[in-house]
Amino acid sequence: MATTSGSPFAYHVFLSFRGEDTRKTFTDHLYTALVQAGFQTFRDDDSIERGKYLNLELPKAIEQSRISIVVLSENYASSTWCLDELVTILECNRTHGNDVLPVFHDVEPSEVRKREGSFEKAFERYENEVEEEDDHERRMELAKRVVGWKAALRQVAALTGMVLKNQADGHESKFIKKIVKVVGDKVRRTVLSVAPHLIGIDLRAGNINSWLQDESNDVGIVAICGIGGIGKTTIAKYLYNLNFERFEGSSFLASVREVSEQPDGLVRLQRQLLSDILKGKKEKIYNADQGIVRIKEALRCIKVLVILDDVDRVDQLDAVLGMRDWLYPGSKIIITTRRKQLLKASKVHTVHEVSGMDNIESLELFCWYAFGQDHPVEDYRNYSKRVVHYCDGLPLALQVLGSSLSGKSIDVWESALEKLEAIPEGEILKKLKISYDSLQDDHDKNLYLDIACFFVGKDKDWTITILDGCGFFTKIGIHNLIDRCLLRVGQRDNKLWMPHLIQDMGREIVRLESTKEPGKRSRLWQKEAFNVLSEKTVRIIYLMSTSMVLVGICLN
């Protein structure tokens, strides 16, 4: 079970109860309901080893639990173990802020507070033990404990709790459901850490969020696609945190592409999916085929929300989800990917392509990272607008550059902007280059580089004619680039288009072929093309030849 990022708690719930009263009945049913609801729950009979380590482990478990449920039953006070445990629970509430939820099972709060009935009898016995103790130090120690127990019972009885006799007409099953809901309201779990300043995310995620909450029995798969750094994962995390509690089981599988490339990566993803869906239960899986069978068995029984982040191959989908027909009615699947065409083979219900931020959103996001506020400092206003124009609506670029320029002088900003015009920022380039590296062969990589250097803004049909004449299979190549979100074709003017950061990435790949001697690069354009020509190091305008380094040059 995932816990809140950065949380000091190892458990959501600690259960304190009198074993002889409720261990095999009410408390067992409550424990099962909490676990099935996805709460990591501690109870002393199965969460730690019995024996000499018990006294050491229980206080630690109480401290590391977000909330303690104290089941106050008829014979609770007859156990000094329970009373000492209650003192520790209330101490953690006072010093660390851990929540406490008293549950009164067949006793009234007044009986606990006033120590009536069985509680009175228990304390009569303790006070007799104090009187009968001959050793002075032991008598004083026991007397001190009794005073602490009395105070603890008064304190816990005064807290807002739940009384079986007053709720659900005394029906334990209904009462337990209410307890689970109260725990959920108190814990307010946010499973996944999401970046701050989610500007415009309601607009971008709104349709998918409505789909997740439509309560229909239809099984649906939605894909969120776009270039690297556009915010696909952020949107997916945001949607998961808003909606995972609506489902009986949920799982967010992060970095599927990266994990699947590691040894036994697909099996690891399958194990995580099963562990999440089965509320922490560990399944032994030794190969992907076995995992598919186990997942099929698990997913066909409950309504689930599963998010697969950064998928780039069909086999990754098949290994984790397989056929859509497995899924229980009402289940929802979300995929994030850089590949549009991947989705058509996977029975995707809807494709949601993430658009970049507009200028107003971009400026606000940039300013939060650069200045810690939603608007630029006056002297930096024009520089901020230049950065926003460069970032072209890409959230990753706005965050990276905002953070790197934060606190810097205007001179540094000017220098940084001049450098960006010549050399793209490294962290942004690294993220974007994943799409380039994933192209299936050198043919598509070379086609991308040629388009980035020479053909952005040109007519698609004209470009195909030129590049086909140079030995390219241009139509299928353009199709593959569009699939990787590296290229678009204008619907109205039929022109090739790239976000300028994607175009800059291609030109930077070429520049790195020879940073000091442009004449040794495979492609040249604009100023450097004129410089090389003027030095008479190049005599050919455009040539596809394995015998020469240069394959293209653009003078305009």
Residue 495 tokens read as: 């022109």
Question: Of the listed 63, 85, 361, 508, which one is catalytic?
Answer: 85
Whether 295 contacts 266, CB under 8 Å = no
Buried b (16+ CB within 10 A) or exposed e, 223-261: bbbbbbbbbbbbbbbbbbbebbeebbbbbbbbebbebbe
Which DSSP letter does residue 159 get?
S
Closest by Cα among 317, 343, 214, 304 to 256: 317
Whether 336 contacts 225, CB under 8 Å = yes
Q: What span, in angstroms and rounded, lies between the C-alpha atoms of 238 and 273?
A: 19
274: amino acid identity, one letter = L
Q: What span, in angstroms and rounded, lies between the C-alpha atoms of 167 and 185?
A: 18
Instruction: Tell me the CA end-to-end span of the chain in Å, nearest whole number.
Output: 58
Give the CA diameter of the chain.
111
User: How many CB atoms lie under 10 A from the CB of residue 29?
Assistant: 15
Residue in this structure with the two tokens 């300013």, named with its chain if needed = 367
Q: What span, in angstroms and rounded, lies between the C-alpha atoms of 182 and 168?
A: 14
Whether 154 contacts 116, CB under 8 Å = no
Residue 251 tokens read as: 């799982």
| Dihedral pair phi/psi, residue 345, rounded to 5° | -85, 0
418 is catalytic: no
Which residues have a catalytic role annotated?
85
